[in-house]
Amino acid sequence: MLDTPLTLASQTLGTGAKSGALIHCTLTHGGVLKGLANALPSHHFLAPDLPNHGKSADWPLGKEGMQGAAASAIAAMLDAPADVIGHSFGATVALRIAVMHPEKVRTLTLIEPVSGAVARVDEPEIAAAHEVEAMEMLSAIHAGDLAGAAYLFTRDWGLGRPWDTIPEEARAKMAAQMPFVAASQAEIFDDTPGLLTSGALERLVIPTLVLEGAETAKRHPVMRAICTGLARRIPGAKHALVDGAGHMAPLTHPDAVAQLIQENLPGF
């Protein structure tokens, strides 16, 4: 952890009476989830920028514990109780908030959380194949080829937009964010927080929905293993598919995501 508490930039999306949080995916910022906020007019949402993203400061290179520090920083900003929604890496942060600060979370929505440790335990062959693919990107980061790493990341997990059609300034910003990806690996793949070994997931009593794009498993079968594994461990959790969507479902299909949240979480 940092010697001093982590401070994150944030904005508020929506003007509804209920309190919530929207935690974005890697290489974006809190504002990209405005469409989902608009589709949930009952809420006002805290939308933080994760470290290295938006207006938040960078995470120190080589420093461990970034995911947990981000979770604590967001929990400190939350009105309680709050409906917490996270996407991709942001979903892993949302899960850490629920485990570390359950009093701050009324309901929990995890949209394609990249919790690779779950797949390592449940589907080791699928996890290994995924990690072989991811190693090319991680090797580029460690070699200092941040632009090459960003290209590989967006190719595999982005909106499908060709790299050379993205404005140069945006490409440079995404490249600069790639060390964040390397900093997250131990917590999501090695389970350094001990979510699987400690029984923390099995002790959650928060209404939880795990959402997955129906098209994602065709490209990334590891995501099905993660989503079903989390839903199986968290008591009462539901697993649902967003028809026609891939990994970026909250950006491409915000109305469908909102409908599934409202249908599956009591009192949302």
Q: Where residue 147 falls among pLDDT bands split at 50, 70, 90?
A: very high
Please state, for a pLDDT cut of 90, what percent of the chain lies above it.
Answer: 85
- Tell me, what's the pLDDT at 2? 44
pTM for this prediction: 0.95
By three-state DSSP, how is residue 21 classified? strand
**Mean pLDDT rounded to a whole number for the chain:** 94
8-65, pLDDT tens digit by residue?
999 999 999 999 999 999 999 999 999 999 999 999 999 999 998 999 998 887 788 9
232-245, pLDDT tens digit by residue?
999 999 999 999 99
117-141, pLDDT tens digit by residue?
999 999 999 999 999 988 999 999 9
All structural domains of the chain with their residue ranges: 10-116+193-264, 122-188
DSSP conformation letters of 229-243: HHHHHSTT-EEEEET
Q: Where residue 177 falls among pLDDT bands split at 50, 70, 90?
A: confident
Distance between alpha carbon 8 and the CA centroid of its chain, in Å?
16
DSSP H or E segment with residue 22: strand 18-23
- Tell me, what's the pLDDT at 62? 75
DSSP H or E segment with residue 212: strand 208-213
- Euclidean distance between CA atoms 113 and 90, whole angstroms: 7
102: left (phi over 0), alpha (psi -120 to 50) or beta: alpha
Q: Is the pLDDT of residue 3 over 60?
A: no
- Tell me, what's the pLDDT at 182? 86
- Euclidean distance between CA atoms 56 and 23, whole angstroms: 13
Q: How many C-beta neighbours within 10 Å does residue 35 have?
A: 16
What would the mean pLDDT of 157-185 be, rounded to a whole number? 89
63-97, pLDDT tens digit by residue?
889 999 999 999 999 987 999 999 999 999 999 99
Q: Is the pLDDT of residue 216 over 80?
A: yes
CATH architecture classification, 10-116+193-264: 3-Layer(aba) Sandwich (3.40)
